[in-house]
Amino acid sequence: MTAETTATTPEHFLATQPHAIVERDGVRYTLLGTAHVSRASIDAVKEAIGTGRFDAVAVELDPPRLQALTDPEALAKLDLIQVIRTGRVAMFAANLALSAYQRRLAEQLGIEPGAELKQAVLDARERNLPVHLIDREVGLTFKRAAARLGFWGRMKLGSGLVAGLFASDEVGADDIEKLKQGDMLESSFSEFASSSPELYEGVIAERDRYMAARLRETHGDAREVLAVVGAGHLQGLARHLREETRDPVAIREELEIVHQKSKVPWFTLVLSAILLAGLGWGFSHGGLKLGTDVLLQWIAITAGLTALGCAIAGGHPLSVLAGAAAAPFKPFRPAMPSGAFSALVEARLRKPTYADFLALREDAQTLRGWYRNRVSRVLLNFMLTCFGTIAGEWIGLARIVGKFVS
């Protein structure tokens, strides 16, 4: 049984902040809607926990974001080589873009974005209350959202992330107002979410369902739960918490799976087929000379543009060589991009120091800082090397098709 209550209470924090109270299965959930850049929200959180009426606190955070908020040296504990090997570079970039956006807000407004969530965790721990992290990991949200988009949509999203990493101008007044009423991720990706229903579904709507499931899954023996969430999630979260009847564990697991549109890599297969056909045609119609010419052109174009991308990123000569050597074989090795080979060599030869990790957020604000910091330069190496390979594949493919029709 569920019920939603809107009865007035004497507590000041409920009178000044948007909220909803949902009672379900013997648990009373007080959903406190906050603005991620508001001192009033921090005060409301402190007052709410200070009442002593709650026996558990839930917050709109995942473990990496909590660690970033509470541990200034969290990035310094990251194993960058492991990030590259396990294919989590996109997740790392998404988290870095979010951190850069938060840094710009903090400098502009004089308040740390998400400070009210941090305050909720600290106050709950001080009172020995259970703390539940109910949000989905940012990188996973990014991957699920990107999986819904087409090729050009993913390219636009990726370029937007890169642009966000380099941006140093002030956040606009409209974006700040949206943030006060909405959600940090929605604000970070606002340009894309507003024009892409698929992205909005992954960034906002899915997380309402996810957090509602996590609340039901993690409340334990608590009977009074305070959930501190961005105001933009309040309505959807209350609705799902009140109406959802499916098993919360099943819902959470479903929303953690990254669905690929197709298990068959059609583009890679077509590219491989055209490349092999071009080589076969060259050897059969023009003999060894023409076949070798087609093969050498493919190698030169893909390896050359890959090397150029890595060189623009300031890669070590051996990193450039690793990327160039891997690029011609990319159609036959889709799971491992050439940028990963190059970035792994870069990370080993120019191993990031403790100081690089500590300075990462600051250095990511300027182009010069990106090249100076060894962590960001590895990421830059990965991205520009991959862009070079993609350009090389398209140009090389066009040259081979041109030989067919000429």
223 and 98, same structural domain?
A: yes
319 and 241, same structural domain?
A: no
What is the reported pLDDT for 193? Answer: 47
What is the reported pLDDT for 249? Answer: 94
In-domain check, residue 278: yes
The span from the CA of 46 to the CA of 151, in Å, is 45
What is the reported pLDDT for 191? Answer: 47
Q: Ramachandran region of residue 230, left (φ > 0), alpha (ψ -120 to 50) or beta?
A: beta
In-domain check, residue 260: no
The dihedrals phi and psi of 222, each to the nearest 5 degrees, come to: -65, 145
84 and 6, same structural domain?
A: yes
282 and 198, same structural domain?
A: no
Residues in the chain with pLDDT < 50?
1-10, 190-193
State the amino acid at position 380 in one-letter form. Answer: L
What is the reported pLDDT for 4? Answer: 44
What is the reported pLDDT for 7? Answer: 39
370 and 249, same structural domain?
A: no
Per-residue model confidence as pLDDT tens digits over 104-149 = 666 666 667 778 899 999 999 999 999 999 999 877 887 787 777 7
Beta-strand relationship, 131-133 and 224-230: unpaired
State the chain's maximal CA–CA distance in angstroms.
90
What is the reported pLDDT for 5? Answer: 43
What is the reported pLDDT for 331? Answer: 75
What is the reported pLDDT for 74? Answer: 65
What is the reported pLDDT for 388? Answer: 93
What is the reported pLDDT for 305? Answer: 95
243 and 200, same structural domain?
A: yes
328-337, long-range: CB < 8 A, 24+ apart: 328/298, 328/299, 328/302, 328/303, 330/302, 330/389, 330/393, 331/268, 331/271, 331/272, 331/275, 331/393, 332/272, 334/265, 334/268, 337/382, 337/385, 337/386, 337/389
247 and 298, same structural domain?
A: no
296 and 248, same structural domain?
A: no
- Angle in degrees, CA 255, 258, 261, rounded to 5: 120
- 221, 254, 287 - which closes a domain: 254
Q: Which two tokens stand for residue 290?
A: 């023409």
What is the reported pLDDT for 295? Answer: 79
310 and 359, same structural domain?
A: yes
How many domains are contained in the chain? 2
In-domain check, residue 259: no
31 and 120, same structural domain?
A: yes
359 and 288, same structural domain?
A: yes
Domain that holds residue 55: 2-254
DSSP assignments along 164-189, one per residue: HHH--SPPPHHHHHHHHHS-HHHHHT
Q: Could you tell me if 144 and 206 are in contact, meaning their C-beta atoms sit under 8 angstroms apart?
A: yes
Q: What pTM, to 2 d.p., does this model score?
A: 0.67
Question: Within 13 Å, how many C-alpha atoms sit on residue 92's CB side?
Answer: 24
